[in-house]
Amino acid sequence: YIVGNGSNLLVSDKGYEGVIIQIYKQMNQVKVEGAQIHAQAGALLSMIAKRALDAELTGFEFAAGIPGTLGGACVMNAGAYGGEMKDVLKSGSEMKNVLVDAVLLTKDGAVIRRTGEELELGYRTSVIAKKGYIVLEAVLELQKGEKEKIQAVMDDLKERRVTKQPLEYPSAGSTFKRPEGYFAGKLIQDAGLRGFQVGGAQVSEKHCGFVINKDQATASDVMNLMNQVSDKVYEEFGVRLQPEVKRLGEF
C-alpha cells in the first residue's frame, strides 16, 4: 500500500497485513521554473504553497492548509475553498490553468506521463485512483501575482480553517464526501447529530463534517460512528453519505 502523509487514512485496530511504502520526505524536491512548479510526489502541499508564495505565483493558495502530499492530492483531486488540483496541473502545451502533467508508475513498473485532461480528475477521484497508478511527480501551472495579495489569501483561508474546523483534535479530515446538491456537514447537523459520540469518537461540535478522536477513540469507534451517522442521515433525508476517509486494513 502506498501512503503519502496519511492525513485521510483510518487504519484498522488490527493493523495492516502487508507492506506499506511511504512516499514522503525521501521524495519531496520542489523546483520553480517560471510560472511552473515541478515537485515530487512526497512534497507537502504546504511546502509547495510556500515556494509559490516566495516566487510570487498565484493559484495554489487553496492548498496551503491541506495536510497532505502532492501525490495524494493528485490521486484524489484534493481541493478546498473553491480550488482543486485539476485547476493547477499543467495541460500539455495549452497554458490554461489546468492540472499539469503527472509522471506515474503503473502496476507493471512502466513510467508514464499524463496531461491534466488525461488524469480524468473529478470530485475526489482520478484515473490514478481507478487504475492503481503511483504518482512520482507533477507539474503545476500557476500565474504571476503579487506576494502581498497571495499572502493575504493564504492568511484568510488559514483563519477560516482555524475558526471553523476542529484542528485542536485528531481527525482524518473531512469524513464524508459532499453529496450532489447537499453539504455533508449540514445534513449531519440537521439530523441532530452534532456532538454524537460512539466510544471515544465524536461528530465535531465545531464542524459536523468532521469525526474527531475526542478521547482515545479506536478505529472501530470511528467506523461505528460513521455507519450510524450515514444510516441516520439516510433515514431522515434519503441521502446516503459516502466516506471520504480511506480505510486501511480489516474492519
Provide φ and ψ at 36, rounded to 5°: -105, 145
Cβ 104 vs Cβ 82: under 8 Å: no
Q: Containing H/E element for 135?
A: strand 134-141
Is 126 tagged catalytic?
no
CA distance 22 to 11: 14
Catalytic residue among 7, 174, 204, 230: 174
H/E element holding 184? helix 184-190
The whole-angstrom separation of Cα 218 and Cα 125 is 27
Q: Which one from 91, 114, 124, 204 is the annotated catalytic residue? A: 124
Do the beta carbons of residue 233 and residue 188 sit within 8 Å?
A: yes
Q: How many C-beta atoms surround the C-beta of residue 210 within 10 A?
A: 24
Query: Catalytic site residue 244?
Result: yes
Tell me if residue 136 falls in helix, strand or coil: strand
Catalytic site residue from 61, 137, 141, 244: 244
Contacts 24+ apart (CB under 8 A), 145-152: 145/56, 145/57, 145/58, 145/59, 146/56, 146/58, 147/53, 147/56, 149/58, 150/52, 150/53, 150/56, 150/57, 150/58, 150/61, 151/53
Q: Is 240 a catalytic residue?
A: no
DSSP notation for 66-97: --SBHHHHHHHT-EETTEEGGGTB-BTTB-SS
Q: Which residues are catalytic?
A: 124, 174, 244
